[in-house]
Amino acid sequence: MDQGTRDEMLYCLAEAVEAVSVAHPTRVAVDGPPAAGKTTLADELASILRAQGREVIRATIDDFLFPRAQRYPRGEYSAEGCYYDTHDYNALNKVLLDPLGPGGDRRFQPAIYDHDADTVLSPPVTTVPADAVLLFDGVFLLRPELLDRWELRVFVSTALEDTVDRAVIREREVSSRADVERRWRERYIPSQQLYLATAQPTRHADIVVHNDEPRRPRWEIRTR
């Protein structure tokens, strides 16, 4: 396991992306629990790759949610509902992952849903070159429905209990501490425990980033 500065970790990830050799865009999953630091890591990695001359698509699982009226058949705080009922994986594969994969035409849509407005989206279809990189962050990305869609699989790990405090800070302007803690302890943390037990994402990850100390992360490169 390596440990160093955040920049060293990011350049290690950039080297791993560059090492992928395929005839279509490189699809990178940045998986991990809520508030683990996935979005920040993916954004930072995107900046490095763009500076190196790569075209980068940034997308997130939050833009592939089912509308709110469909997301809670088991209740708003259900962990099983969070894992099974929240995201539209069929649409994700159809409009983004498969077009960028082997045999795809590289014509994709980066989103199908506007979270703030709770409305379905249909953005313009975009075409990218074969050497583009998709950096896609979100929860539950190494589950069976998606596992074979990624050329590089990164799992951002942190203690689940620590994500509660991070979430309270992140959401302090829109939610009370009590609301955040309830969502995390009843829905998000148990859904992650379900995911870890059933899909075993760290077993399938190429790189695990231990992000408990974001400025001094530890990381390990796995062989599959």
User: In whole angstroms, how far apart are CA 141 and each of 34, 152, 180?
Assistant: 12, 11, 23
DSSP 26: E
User: With contact defined as beta carbons under 8 Å apart, do 112 and 122 qualify?
Assistant: yes
Of residues 109, 113, 122, 110, the one with CA closest to residue 67: 113
* Amino acid sitting at position 220: E
Domain covering 2-221 in this structure, CATH number: 3.40.50.300
Tens digit of each residue's pLDDT (9 = 90 or more) over 161-199:
888 888 888 887 777 888 888 989 999 999 999 999 999
Determine the pLDDT at residue 171.
81
User: With contact defined as beta carbons under 8 Å apart, do 138 and 62 qualify?
Assistant: yes
Determine the pLDDT at residue 167.
85
Tens digit of each residue's pLDDT (9 = 90 or more) over 65-110:
999 999 999 999 999 999 999 999 999 999 999 999 999 999 999 9
Determine the pLDDT at residue 224.
57
User: With contact defined as beta carbons under 8 Å apart, do 123 and 177 qualify?
Assistant: no
Decide: pTM greater than 0.75: yes
Tens digit of each residue's pLDDT (9 = 90 or more) over 15-68:
999 999 999 999 999 999 999 999 999 999 999 999 999 999 999 999 999 999
Domain ranges of the chain: 2-221
User: In whole angstroms, how far apart are CA 98 and each of 69, 149, 173?
Assistant: 27, 7, 37
User: In whole angstroms, how far apart are CA 183 and each of 77, 141, 163, 186?
Assistant: 6, 20, 12, 5
Say whether pLDDT at 207 is over 90: yes
Burial classification of residue 139, based on how many CB atoms lie within 10 Å of its CB (0-12 exposed, 13-18 middle, 19 or more buried): buried
Rg (CA), the chain: 17
Q: Three-state SS for 42?
A: helix
What are the E-state strand segments in the chain?
2-3, 26-31, 56-60, 107-108, 113-114, 119-120, 126-127, 133-138, 152-157, 207-210, 218-221
